[in-house]
Structure 1
Amino acid sequence: MSKLKNIIKRNKGISKIAEMIIDGSKWAYDNTINRICWIMYSIHPINENKIVICNYYGRGFSDNAKYIAMECIKRKLDYDIVWLVSNMEKNEEFPGSIRLVKYGSFKAIKELATARIWIDNSRKNYYTRKRKKQLYIQTWHGGIALKKIEKDAENALNKSYVKFAKKDSENADVFISNSKFNTNMYENAFWYDGEVLECGVPRNDLLFNNVKETTDKVKDFFNIDINKKIVMYAPTFRKDNNLDVYKFDYEKCIQEFNERFSEEYVMLIRLHPNVFHKSTELNFNSENVLNASFYPDMQELLVATDILITDYSSSMFDFMLTKKPCFIYASDIKNYSDDRGFYFELKKLPFVISKSTEEMIRNIESFDKERYLDQVDKFLKEQGCVDDGNASSRVVDWIENNM
């Protein structure tokens, strides 16, 4: 007991939280215990071949780290890859060579404290303290962005988040970028002045490679006829979790796509992970409208999608790499813009904008593919986009050179 008291006394952060424990704060108690565990496990030697990955605070096998891990496995590198997951039961998508550890557990703290490399796409918990021989790759979870984020939207963020974000950026050794825009965003809005690897976004590699195999996989999962086309509606979330802004006449739009492009379409609806649990409240009474909110990998859905409808989601910038049509449906532009602000004026993007079902129908009817492709190429060039299907390889090269 005396040793524990000495540890608390020596660490100012723990001392402050220890005071909160006296006042009965469970959050403070839990995090103090985690911080003490971190200090204890930091005595253990670092495993020079261990990489610990966290994806969206414990979600499954997806986003940038998935494709970095797969590249390591493809090269048969002798790395102990550990993935921190909240749901240990949903592990069928993980390769057998990846070790799964419960996110937030004491074992997860031990794995992080003794790893050579961390990979994350979100901010780490406050109690993590990077050791001298450890490296931290921050992939983030987007490239080119529409919504202002981090320091550029600081007034809309929780103060405690800003504190942790600054600490996370201070810990990072390298950020992964897919464009000049992305690099400038890190340097100006992420409280970060370290190395940026402008190599492309690993998750976007899939948009260039194995397209048919991935498309077949998605259609098989949803039992979609191989000859049918897919239009996906994938909006971002609202801070009040309101679903009304997502509701328009899906069936009518599907019919219009059928006529305009002389194909037969089905629609997948993919809500943002922050509100996907509410997706069943939408109208899925038609055999042509399917709920894709629970599908594990958004990038696989983008590969299989022939037409994307979104609002303010950065998925539009990933999808434009495929050169396939993208439409914006946004009925609350002013309210949303006033809350966060945009990096680009919507009207200057390559995508036509609709605020109602009727306007969407008119925009589908008048879609000009040649004009759209010209605008997409111009936009990608202006933003200095470097995605080419080889980002994962470049990141693993960095890992091998620095391991």
Structure 2
Amino acid sequence: MKSRIKAFVKQNKAIYSLYFYLGSFFLRLIGLFIKTDPQLILFISYGGQKYDDSPRVVYEYLLKHPISFEHKYIWAFIEPDKFPQVHNRVKVDTMAYYITAMRAGVWITNSSASRGLNFRKKQTRNYLFQHGMAGIKRIGTDVELFDKAFRIGFHETFDAVFIEGKKELDILPRAWQMDPSVFYTTGLPRNDDLTTVTENEIASIKDRLGIPKSKKVIMYAPTFREFSCAEDGRNALGIPIDFSKWEATLGQEYVLLVTAHYEVAKLLDELPKNDFVINAFKYPELNDLIKVSDILISDYSSIVFDYSIMERPVFCYGYDYDTYLVERGVYTDLEKLFSHGVLRTEDEVLKEIQEIDYDLECEYTRIYIKNEYIASYGNAAEKAVQIIFEKE
């Protein structure tokens, strides 16, 4: 019920206007009586859905390498009880959350801590880690989405935005209407551990996912379509794969790992329950899936760039490419970005996998994706922490 209400508010401009103006006024009024604690640091990832991504890596880096023993850390979650490994937690969208956010001297997030409201105090510094590198699909003011509710009266600002891409400085200041000086090309902390993967680690991940050690892994990881929704208005994803055909064609050598963008609220298709298809839609560690996968099949998702750090083959399955160009748009000619262009049918995808020259595809990924698009990676957490706390 709560998710349906949220979806309704997001899609109804009048309702969101009421939510925004009254909510912001109320919180700002309360904020007059709340003192900011510069030592309190609030972490939130994917709007409180996960304990994951760059905010987690920065948090764990600070636990091992504390800048100050006076710092206090607190995480915000939609369901705090699911994350007992985190000592201090607060539930998102409660009064306790908003009071904590107003008390915190620092926000560290990969999306937003504001919850669509304008209440951040002047003393609070706001740091954003990109959760997906810009470079494929159009974003921000470069695209006109059907849902314009969150553009009402509020343009969130950040003290620093941490990015990893060579081309992002040509895109993000314009698309997000931000001063170029707030962007720092440090790399993304979440990708630091992609540079130190071992065979033992891969074997351990396979054990956790129930994948036989003898099988190679294909990951299918499509992005969300904001023009594709379920009946309740939330983003949904149909998977254009005949799983029986894929198993018959590839099942002797591979398993298929299926996941999706965090914005996808539900999969419209029931995934088969068998040894060939691994449902990783709710798996908490995306990097585990990247590390264990021998091949990535995606579409317009920025996971392509993260995965390129591994220098492994990437294929673009763009079954709705023409529609996507109209509805969303892209920055890059995908026919040139990927070694085999945009594959429109699953038969094309299966043929490329069957005939793959693995070493050649790895080299293509290294030269034409990783080297062309990734500016920095490997020690991003250390670099970001230095920047954040130099500003104190």
Tell me the TM-score normalised to structure 1 length. 0.82
Q: Is the 8 A contact 2:40 2:72 kept in 1?
A: yes
Q: Does 1:229 align with 2:216?
A: yes
CA drift at 1:161: 2.0
Q: Does 1:87 align with 2:87?
A: no
CA drift at 1:203: 1.3
* Partner residue, 1:141: 131
- 2: CA distance between counterparts of 1:108 and 1:133? 18
Q: Deviations 1:128-177 (Å, cap 9, x if unpaired)? A: 33333221111131114311010111x2253332346x611xx2111111
* Partner residue, 1:318: 306
Amino acid in the other structure paired with 1:249: D
Q: Is the 8 A contact 1:150 1:162 kept in 2?
A: no
Q: Does 1:179 align with 2:165?
A: yes
Q: Deviations 1:323-368 (Å, cap 9, x if unpaired)? A: 1111122211101111111111111113433222221222123323
- 1: CA distance between counterparts of 2:313 and 2:326? 28
Which secondary structure does the structure 2 equivalent of 1:132 belong to?
A: coil
Q: Deviations 1:190-241 (Å, cap 9, x if unpaired)? A: 1100421111011111211355565345323322233432211111122224
CA drift at 1:126: 3.9
Q: Which has the larger radius of gyration?
A: 1
- For structure 1, which segment, 66-75 or 227-236, has the greater mean C-alpha deviation from structure 2 after superposition? 227-236
* Partner residue, 1:62: 52
Among 254, 257, 272, the residue aligned to 1:268: 257
Task: Identify, as 1 or 2, the structure richer in helix.
Answer: 1
Alignment RMSD (CA, Å): 2.7
* Partner residue, 1:205: 192
- 2: CA distance between counterparts of 1:87 and 1:244? 24
Amino acid in the other structure paired with 1:82: I
* Partner residue, 2:8: none
Alignment of 1:246-325 (within 5 A): 246-253=239-246, 256-257=249-250, 264-278=253-267, 281-325=269-313
Q: Does 1:349 align with 2:337?
A: yes
Q: Deviations 1:8-28 (Å, cap 9, x if unpaired)? A: xxxxxxxxxxxxxxx9x6983
- 1: CA distance between counterparts of 2:103 and 2:187? 29
* Partner residue, 2:318: 330
- 2: CA distance between counterparts of 1:218 and 1:181? 33
Amino acid in the other structure paired with 1:326: V
1:212/1:46 CA distance change after superposition, 3 Å: farther
- 2: CA distance between counterparts of 1:256 and 1:344? 31
* Partner residue, 2:63: 73
Q: Where in structure 2 are there 5+ consecutive unaligned residues? A: 1-13, 231-235
Instruction: Indicate the percent of aligned positions where both proteins have the same amino acid.
Output: 24
1:276/1:373 CA distance change after superposition, 3 Å: same
- 2: CA distance between counterparts of 1:315 and 1:285? 25
Amino acid in the other structure paired with 2:135: A
Amino acid in the other structure paired with 1:37: L
Which secondary structure does the structure 1 equivalent of 2:90 belong to?
A: strand
1:283/1:127 CA distance change after superposition, 3 Å: closer
Tell me the TM-score normalised to structure 2 length. 0.84
- 2: CA distance between counterparts of 1:173 and 1:295? 32
* Partner residue, 2:29: 39
Which secondary structure does the structure 2 equivalent of 1:318 belong to?
A: helix
